[in-house]
Structure 1
Amino acid sequence: MNEHAGVVRLVRHDPGTGRRDEVAGVLKAMAEAARDAPGCFGAQVATSDRDGETLVLISRWESAEAMNHFGDDPGFASLRDQLKESVSKQPDVEVLTTA
């Protein structure tokens, strides 16, 4: 099995005022769910040196298809919906692919 991620997804979340811990908890649940998904090589929540308040959900995938299949999962969609009221703006999504 190829153990190199073909796709890396970075999603930056800006928590609403006083909601950082809440957002971090939901993102950690998302990362845990992703780690169990077929084609996921790992997922974690991190902070950025650019902005200490922003939380970044990082996931590494075998392929775009595996990533998209997980994104369509109802359990993941439910977690994503929980974030809508807790963030100050739409998440910034960046998808990196192997060159």
Structure 2
Amino acid sequence: MVIVSGWLRVGTDARDEYLASCVDVIEAARAAPGCIDFHLAADPLDADRINVYEQWESAEAVERFRGSGPDGGQQDAIVGAHVEQHEVASSTTLT
């Protein structure tokens, strides 16, 4: 399993518009083969921060989808980012 997690920073006044512009990407990701979960969310503490969480069956599934990332306008709105990809060796279900 692969987890992609981290954060993006956009202007405080641009966050809601940025997230609204990501709905199509989120829907496409969730429909993509190998996607377990894909989520972008406004951070409740930082007005300019968007939290990123993706869960994929494999690195290959992430790579197949990776070209579907932010479009030019979305990329221009990002003023900072820290996102990492993690290979998970094992998991335990808690629910």
**TM-score normalised over the length of structure 2:** 0.76
- Distance change >3 Å, CA 82–CA 47, structure 1 → 2: same
User: SS of 2:7's equivalent?
Assistant: strand
Partner of 1:84: 75
The one-letter code sitting in structure 1 at the alignment partner of 2:36 is: F
Partner of 2:9: 14
Aligned length: 89
RMSD: 2.0
The one-letter code sitting in structure 2 at the alignment partner of 1:95 is: Q
Alpha-carbon distance, 1:27 to partner: 3.1
Alpha-carbon distance, 1:54 to partner: 1.0
User: SS of 1:32's equivalent?
Assistant: helix
Whether contact under 8 Å (2:19, 2:41) holds in the other structure is: no
Whether contact under 8 Å (1:34, 1:59) holds in the other structure is: no
Unaligned segments of structure 2, at least 5 residues: 90-95
* Runs of 4+ in structure 1 over 4 Å off: none
**TM-score normalised over the length of structure 1:** 0.73
Give matches, 1:1-99, under 5 Å: 6-48=1-43, 51-72=46-67, 76-77=68-69, 79-89=70-80, 91-99=81-89
Unaligned segments of structure 1, at least 5 residues: 1-5
Higher share in strand: 2
